[in-house]
Structure 1
Amino acid sequence: KQHRCIDAFSVWLMSSMKPSQAFSSSLMRRSSSLARSVSTLFLRSSSVLPRRSFSGSSDVKRKAVMVAATGQHHGKTTVTLGMVHKLLERGKKVSYQKPVGQQTVPVICQGKELQVDRDVDIFKHVWPQLVGSYSDASPVAFPPGFTRMVLDGKVQTRDLVQRCRESFARLVEASDYVVVEGTGHIGVGSIIDLNNAQVAAELQLDVVIVAPGGLGVSFDVLAANHALLKEHGVRLKGVVLNKVEEKKKEMIEHYYRKALQRIDVPLLGVIPSDADLPLLSMKSFTRLLNAQFLSCQDKELRFFRRTRLIVNPGDLPLQIPANSLFILHSSRADSLQALIHQHKIAREGEGKDLACGVIVFGPERVSDADIAGLEQEGIPMLYVSKKDFDGTGFTLLEKVMGHTHKHHKADIERIVRTCQHVGQHIDLDAIIA
């Protein structure tokens, strides 16, 4: 059964609501435009929905699992990518769902614009063969101000839960396996009674938690997340450790496994750190800094192993290391020209592409001649205007260095590498058993 890319909930709402169930026009007039649009999607009758048992609920546990994490940036999406990749390699019909999304992007499907979670957009772009519609993959996506609307009673949590249930049921029916990704740590969403533990309980899912490599702190945070799962009657199926230092991998795996044995939870994967996977690309910086490309936008996925701030001409090394990102003020035309010159020498004399990049900030305009030189050498440059950033070069460097890599749907090469890396270090058979 194929699911069309339409907002099925909206269609159901319009067809099933009786006039007596609708809100009065006076109330709707008092609501904000955002409230009106979300109310159209989510509001139904006032009856409380009982928790529904899926037909063959034991089959649901064999056909689906939720991947959650102990915190943001711990590798939940990374592990989910690896799982989906391995399942598809086995010839399975796979569905992916992010029941509750916080960061939305617009997608066009059959001429209609939908707001879906950004991770759903990534998975659907990388694997168009995934079973299910966009609306079923992202049944609840939070627009700005959504939490306040729930607390004000303009949106009812029970209606969001029902939407998650119905979307999930369609995916389970149509596929061999459903990989459900949570949002942040287990407690995210508690303010509207829709945290990851509550969603897993409603969908009758076991949970695999991704935790950071380490021992004491990692396990302490895991224990707090596990407690919330137990409060809602959700089984912790296992743990995957991510970003484990290679030199400590054997030791951490040994002792983490011993610690988990005390709570009768298996260790399902130990993923070592890969130095290149978390590196930031030029594309990442465009969003972080609200920057614009002045040269070589076709190299937006280039990433860098080192970052250097150029304050004075002498700060530019005599031999530029490959894969370097340089940050400099727009008044430092001399340093920019020296960089172009050194890059040209390496390219013409040694046949090397240094694969560098530049971020320029400040009020001065970069000359057309310098932009042409960067284009000729294949060096991408971003410009951050004074209106978007009024700090010092050190502040900008700190912002760049403190940013965490997020997957981009266009960066197929790195996503494939991520899938292969994860696939080598997780026990998929145990996860889906």
Structure 2
Amino acid sequence: MSAAAPRPLFIAATRQHVGKTTVSLAVLSGLRKRFGDRVGFVKPVGQQHVPVGAKGIRVDKDVQLMKEYFGLNHLRYEDMSPVLVPRDYTKRFIDGEVSSDDQTSKIQDAVKRVQETSDVLIYEGTGHVGVGAIIDASNADVARRLDADVVLVANGGIGSAFDELEMNRAVLKDKGVRLRGVVLNKVVPDKVEQVRDYVGRAIQERWGVPLLGVVPDLPFLGKATLGDLERLLDGELISGRRYRDLHFGTQDLACVTTAVRRFLRKTHFRQAEKNETRPLFVTHCTRDDVLLAFLAYYKRSTVPLPDGVMDRDGWLGAMVLCKGECDMDPKQSVEDNTHLPYLVDIARAYDAPVMLTKLGTVEATNVMANFTAKMHVGDRSRIQAAIDHYEPHIDFEKLLG
């Protein structure tokens, strides 16, 4: 080891969707560079879980992400994700079917095994520091039992960020948990230095806690892949399956209800004037004219490279065809919501990214607009982009001090 091992770090957040897992990725990456491969990772209490390995054991999805991406072969899945909270778990806990002592023992026994093979240890929490209190396993409770220091992650700003941090800090203080420091995430780029100055001074003077990092917003990290959206909409890519890892953001959504000429004008304007090269069009599957126009524009505007792969720096739009109730004509029956087979043949011949879903156009658009894309092991380009973006903005000297 090149440095003295710090106390265990518990990465927590002020609420959902503030970038806790992304910060954990960056911290884990930075610690591996300083302490070698023997960095341990545990998510003591997990909610969203997935099957892994030949035995199909279920673990928290973030555990799968960390273990597979970083190759944490010195750790067992079972130890990295000791307690899961599936549906009805809370009711079973209140009914006495789940014991608080057994739950705590599971976590502590798993952590002990991880410590035996690790030189430094990171825990990742779930939501804000009070989440899990009803099962006697809030983030603050678990951090106290594991004798870990907490790193709080909040979204950027000054007043609102401080208010959220103060509420969570109060819970930690009540539980006797030490706050190691704060990371502010998704800060407006031209406000980074201002936020660093004011929030840094405020938390240092009032709490004696350092500001460990201020991370400017990078919109790409909030974008879902076409594969994510395929699962979200319970849809099917009828062509262009090789583009499942192509990223689209909420700002890329465009629900098409206009005439074809206007659709093409707007599409060309978005590309030429606004440099919007990744539009995600949503329309009803009976709009054969719009689909045909999209395919023609796709054929003209996408640029194949010598190896046959499309130039991803150029234009590469996608289309979602909706089979649900036609929002422009509610009386239309679902049975009438079909598309012409020859257009599907054209889409497949062009290998254009076209998806089919049973949802209606408005519903599909709203579902995608309200979706928060999460890091997962299949989206390696976004994982690496997140680490590259976050890690330089975290002050590891303060973190390990």
Q: Secondary structure at the match of 1:408?
A: coil
For the residues of structure 1 that align with 2:189 and 2:10, how far apart are their CA atoms?
Answer: 27
**Separation in 2 of the partners of 1:105 and 1:159?**
23
Moved more, 338-347 or 237-246: 338-347
Matches within 5 A, 1:385-396: 385=358, 389=359, 391=360, 393-396=361-364
On the 8 A contact 1:66/1:181 being kept in 2, the answer is yes
Structure 2 equivalent of residue 6 of structure 1 = none
In the alignment, is residue 382 of structure 1 matched against residue 358 of structure 2? Answer: no
Cα offsets for 1:385-409 (capped at 9, x unmatched): 1xxx3x5x23332221121111121
2:342 to 369, 374, 390: 369
> For the residues of structure 2 that align with 1:211 and 1:303, how far apart are their CA atoms?
25
- Paired position in structure 2 for 1:252: 195
Alignment of 1:174-323 (within 5 A): 174-261=117-204, 262-305=206-249, 306-314=252-260, 315-318=262-265, 319=268, 321=271, 322-323=277-278
| Residue aligned with 2:12, SS | strand
Contact 1:93 1:130 (C-alpha < 8 Å) held by counterparts: no
Within the candidate set 21, 29, 39, 1:77 is matched to 21
The 10-residue stretch of structure 1 (79-88 or 335-344) with the greater mean CA deviation from structure 2: 79-88
Alignment of 1:324 onto 2:261: no
Instruction: From the superposition, tell whether residues 130 and 66 of structure 1 become closer, same or farther in structure 2 (CA, over 3 Å).
Output: farther
Aligned partner of 2:50: which letter? V
CA distance in 2, matches of 1:417, 1:335: 34
Determine if contact 1:64/1:178 at 8 Å carries over to the other structure.
Answer: yes
| Letter in structure 2 aligned against 1:67 | I
Tell me the equivalent position of 1:54.
Answer: none
- What SS does the corresponding residue of 2:74 show, helix, strand or coil? coil
SS in 2 for 1:241: strand
Is contact 1:95–1:130 with CA below 8 Å preserved after alignment? no
Cα distance between partner residues in 1 of 2:383 and 2:356: 27
> 2:264–2:293: 8 Å Cα contact kept in structure 1?
no
Please identify, of 199-208 and 400-409, the stretch whose mean Cα deviation from structure 2 is larger: 400-409
Which one-letter code corresponds to 1:128 in the other structure? G
From 98, 101, 108, the counterpart of 1:165: 108
Residue aligned with 1:370, SS: helix
Shift of 1:313: 2.6
Bigger shift: 166-175 or 318-327? 318-327
Indicate yes or no: 2:295 matched with 1:340: yes
- What is the CA–CA distance in structure 2 between the aligned matches of 1:144 and 1:403, rounded to whole Å? 21
2:98 corresponds to which residue?
155
Tell me the equivalent position of 1:146.
89
Distance 1:113 1:276 in 2: 32
| 1-structure distance, mates of 2:177, 2:73 | 27
- Equivalent residues of 1:257, 1:266 under 8 A apart: yes
Structure 2 counterparts to residues 32-71 of structure 1, below 5 A: 62-71=6-15
Deviation at 1:342, TM superposition (A): 1.0
Q: Secondary structure in 2 aligned to 1:132? A: coil
Shift in Å, 1:349: 10
Matching residue within 26, 39, 42 for 1:97: 42
TM-score computed with the length of structure 2 as normaliser: 0.87
Partner AA of 2:9 in structure 1: V
- Aligned match of 1:412: 380
Per the TM alignment, residue 82 of structure 1 is displaced from its structure 2 partner at its CA by 0.7
Matched residue SS, 1:371: helix
Aligned counterparts of 1:219 and 1:202: Cα–Cα separation in 2:
26
Q: Is the 8 A contact 2:241 2:353 kept in 1?
A: yes
Letter aligned with residue 341 of structure 1 = A
Name the SS of the counterpart of 1:276 in structure 2.
Answer: helix
Q: Which moved more, 1:314-323 or 1:407-416?
A: 314-323
Q: Is contact 1:64-1:432 (8 Å) kept?
A: no
| Residue of structure 1 equivalent to 2:331 | none
Aligned equivalents of 2:223 and 2:303: distance in 1?
Answer: 28
Q: Kindly tell me: are residues 210 and 257 of structure 1, through their superposed partners in 2, closer, same or farther at Cα, counting changes over 3 Å?
A: same
SS in structure 2 of the partner of residue 131 of structure 1: coil
Match for 1:360 among 313, 321, 326? 321
| Contact 1:229–1:235 (CA under 8 A) maintained in structure 2 | yes
Q: Aligned letter for 2:233? A: L
Q: CA deviation at 1:348?
A: 6.5
Distance 2:139 2:30 in 1: 24
SS for the counterpart of 1:218 is helix
Amino acid paired to 1:428: F
The answer on whether the counterparts of 2:7 and 2:149 sit within 8 Å (CA) in structure 1 is no
SS in 2 for 1:326: strand
| Structure 1: 4+ residue segments shifted above 4 A | 348-353
